Chains A and B, each alone.
Chain A
Amino acid sequence: DAKTTQPPSMDCAEGRAANLPCNHSTISGNEYVYWYRQIHSQGPQYIIHGLKNNETNEMASLIITEDRKSSTLILPHATLRDTAVYYCIVRSTGTASKLTFGTGTRLQVTL
């Protein structure tokens, strides 16, 4: 699976949009971009995934560049409960496909 690069940490004011970048320049054609987050001492939570089109759900939006070498996860109105480590992962589809976790981005939402 392709590797990803994320900034180690980011801050965001509560109520503002949080934009979390991810570089995946070696992504291959059949690989999806997945985002998970892990709140302290809990299991990771699935957020969103996409192949090449932008995606939106009740939690977030995912913007993937046209060349698919990078993406941005957007939390439109961050709250204190969004403070977590966010992982961008590239993987092929299929129920048996593995997830390889990197170091992620630690997002701190502040008042």
Chain B
Amino acid sequence: GAVVSQHPSWVICKSGTSVKIECRSLDFQATTMFWYRQFPKQSLMLMATSNEGSKATYEQGVEKDKFLINHASLTLSTLTVTSAHPEDSSFYICSASGTSGVMTYNEQFFGPGTRLTVL
């Protein structure tokens, strides 16, 4: 299957600072990338969908000015949590779908996740 990486795997920051999380597709071209958030003991909640070269589409209730998403290339998407506060502490997970040569991956492949703790 296709491989997706995330960096960093965990981050601790002070309240009011911004944090950038990277999501990379290692062996395929990610035409679409997705960002999810997961609070403890809860399921994954989709935050936004981004297509390479286009603005992200945010789910209802997700502040686009707080969670900045950039998908400037077919292998990289970034999520920046701006002015982070303790309530933003969560597990952030990206996924990607796309193509590799003649093969199309309709299923989403997930990164390992980034645990954000805001003090």
Chains A and B bind each other: yes
Asked if B31 and A45 sit within 8 Å, CB to CB, the answer is no
Asked if A34 and B46 sit within 8 Å, CB to CB, the answer is no
B82 close to A (CB within 8 Å): no
Asked if A99 and B46 sit within 8 Å, CB to CB, the answer is yes
**What's the Cα separation between A93 and B105 when bound, in Å?**
10
A29 close to B (CB within 8 Å): no
Asked if A99 and B32 sit within 8 Å, CB to CB, the answer is no
* A27-51 interface bits toward B, Cβ cutoff 8 Å, 1 = contact, 0 = none: 0000000101010011111100100
The majority secondary structure among interface residues of chain B is strand
Asked if B1 and A46 sit within 8 Å, CB to CB, the answer is yes
B51 close to A (CB within 8 Å): yes
Asked if B107 and A34 sit within 8 Å, CB to CB, the answer is yes
A111 close to B (CB within 8 Å): no
Contacts of A45 in B (CB 8 A): 110
Asked if A95 and B43 sit within 8 Å, CB to CB, the answer is no
Contacts of B49 in A (CB 8 A): 96, 98
Contacts of B31 in A (CB 8 A): 95-96
Query: Within the complex, what minimum Cβ distance (angstroms) separates B14 from chain A?
Result: 24
B75 close to A (CB within 8 Å): no
Which single member of A34, A97, A98, A104 contacts B43 (CB below 8 Å)? A104
Asked if B43 and A99 sit within 8 Å, CB to CB, the answer is no
Q: How large is the interface on B (under 10, 10 to 19, 20 to 34, 35 or more residues)?
A: 20 to 34
Query: Within the complex, what minimum Cβ distance (angstroms) separates B113 from chain A?
Result: 5
Query: Within the complex, what minimum Cβ distance (angstroms) separates A110 from chain B?
Result: 21
B109 close to A (CB within 8 Å): yes
Contacts of A38 in B (CB 8 A): 44
Query: Within the complex, what minimum Cβ distance (angstroms) separates B2 from chain A?
Result: 9
**What's the Cα separation between A94 and B49 when bound, in Å?**
13
**What's the Cα separation between A96 and B112 when bound, in Å?**
20
* Chain A residue nearest to B91 in the complex (CB): A41
**What's the Cα separation between A44 and B32 when bound, in Å?**
17
Contacts of A97 in B (CB 8 A): 106
Asked if A95 and B91 sit within 8 Å, CB to CB, the answer is no
